[in-house]
Amino acid sequence: MKLYSISKSIFRVVLLLIVLLPLGRHWRLFSFGERSTGTVMEYSSYFGENLYGEKEVFYASKIQFNTGDGLVEVWAPTDTELKMGREFLVFYRAGDPSKNCILNLACLYLTSYSILPLILIFVWWAFYLSYNNYHKDKKGEILKL
């Protein structure tokens, strides 16, 4: 019976791909969207809809960027206070600037879409550890903790 194991390099490549998943959901904006520089204007409250469709008060930083048609204001992820006056690269759809992506670690990874990669990282890590330790045990190697 041949025993297989997952190499460290394969583990790292798959881990990198999982970490890049939140960037992958914006690939059209990165490839075909327009670019602009956004500036953080203020940290304030606004009314928005929660996951259940109910109106709620959220706190976030307001970012303003220039398009060919004028200025557009967007909100950073909720409860994320960015330094006033700081500038970020913003990708947006030319016909609809409300479809945008602020190129910032907090804006990319502190969203509800980051739950799936987090779960996948834990599942992949558990699979890697259990699969490799099982085969080491079968070969008769002593596991060192």
pLDDT for residue 17: 93
pLDDT for residue 2: 60
DSSP category for residue 69: S
Q: What is the pLDDT of residues 66-110, one digit of tens each?
A: 998 889 998 888 887 888 999 999 999 988 888 888 888 877 887
Q: What is the pLDDT of residues 112-142, one digit of tens each?
A: 777 888 999 999 999 898 877 655 555 555 5
The CA distance from 58 to 50, in Å, is: 9
Radius of gyration of the chain (CA): 21
The CA distance from 85 to 90, in Å, is: 15
CB of 22 closer than 8 Å to CB of 108:
yes
CB of 58 closer than 8 Å to CB of 80:
no
Token couple for 15: 């881990």
pLDDT for residue 41: 93
Domain boundaries, the chain: 8-139
Q: What is the mean pLDDT of residues 49-57?
A: 85
